[in-house]
């Protein structure tokens, strides 16, 4: 079920209560899906840090291409082609100009490659953006799956954000901590709020921590979600267009 544009819901959020917002979601769901939104599932490939390539519905989406600096030092940069590139910000570790395709970083409503994409602004840090400015939270439907990408923020979700993001089939979320990424406990709290069917954690360190990196491993996040099934799937995973209802964490590396 497709959700209405985030911009429309955000205009309603200041004036409507939760029940009215839910009605707005249901009202907007009647619009016909774009071609790339049709079922069939997606294949997700990790390039490390928070860069993921999502293929499905005849479209290819690259998330957060990076330069090999700071916490991404030592990783191979994702110099690939995609229909659309969704970046959390223009910081070099999550929005570097290393790939080719339509580059989106600003909030707004877009139609690219058969996809309808919604981006909404959020503070990047825990201080209302005073340290690192704003990041963009992304939501779109691809291969029959509702996907939310909040890989570049440390700010708590606002009530209207939770309505706007809905219940994702796939949630991509930063978990490594530091100045501009959720730590394990914060990310786990967001997962419990949104109740996604599948979760892919990103922006954490595997192995030795690079110099000038303030992030840690994925383990505190997994520990904070004790009891939630975890599947370590290697570098890529294929997801069908319809997922089982219970939350499961997929660790890609």
pLDDT in tens, 159-171: 888 887 999 999 9
Closest CA to 145 of 197, 194, 223, 107: 197
Distances (CA, A) of 136 to 26, 107, 129: 24, 6, 12
pLDDT for 247 equals 98
Name the pLDDT band for 16 (thresholds 50, 70, 90): very low
Residue 6 pLDDT > 60: no
Digit-coded pLDDT (tens) for 95-145:
999 999 999 999 999 999 899 999 999 999 999 999 999 999 999 999 999
Q: Work out the burial of residue 154: count CB atoms within 10 Å of its CB; fewer than 13 is exposed, 13-18 middle, 19 or more buried.
A: buried
pLDDT the model gives residue 49: 94
Give the separation between CA 83 and CA 216, rounded to whole angstroms.
32
Please write down the long-range contacts of 236-239, taking CB distance under 8 Å and 24 or more positions apart.
Answer: 236/43, 236/44, 236/45, 236/46, 237/43, 237/44, 238/41, 238/42, 238/43, 238/44, 239/41, 239/42, 239/43, 239/44, 239/143, 239/145, 239/169, 239/170, 239/198
At 17 the pLDDT is 47
Q: What is the per-residue pLDDT for 107? A: 95
């Amino acid at each position: 079920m497709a959700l209405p544009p985030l911009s429309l819901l955000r205009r309603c959020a200041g004036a409507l209560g939760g029940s009215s917002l839910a009605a707005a979601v249901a009202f907007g769901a009647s619009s016909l899906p774009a071609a790339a939104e049709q079922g069939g599932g997606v294949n997700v490939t990790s390039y490390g840090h928070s860069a993921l390539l999502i293929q499905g519905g005849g479209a290819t989406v690259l998330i957060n291409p990076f330069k090999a600096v700071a916490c991404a030092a030592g990783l191979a940069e994702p110099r690939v082609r995609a229909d659309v590139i969704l970046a959390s910000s223009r910081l070099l570790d999550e929005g570097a100009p290393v790939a080719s395709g339509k580059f989106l970083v600003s909030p707004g409503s877009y139609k690219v490659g058969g996809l309808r994409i919604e981006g909404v602004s959020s503070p990047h840090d825990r201080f209302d953006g005073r340290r690192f400015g704003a990041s963009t939270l992304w939501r779109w439907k691809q291969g029959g799956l509702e996907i939310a990408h909040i890989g570049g923020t440390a700010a708590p979700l606002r009530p209207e954000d939770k309505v706007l993001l809905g219940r994702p089939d796939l949630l991509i979320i930063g978990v490594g901590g530091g100045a501009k990424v959720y730590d394990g406990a914060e990310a786990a709290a967001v997962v419990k709020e949104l109740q996604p069917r599948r979760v892919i954690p990103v922006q954490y360190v595997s192995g030795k921590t690079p110099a000038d990196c303030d992030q840690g491993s994925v383990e505190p996040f997994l520990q904070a979600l004790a009891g939630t099934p975890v599947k370590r799937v290697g570098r890529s995973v294929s997801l069908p267009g319809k997922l089982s209802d219970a939350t499961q964490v997929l660790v890609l590396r």
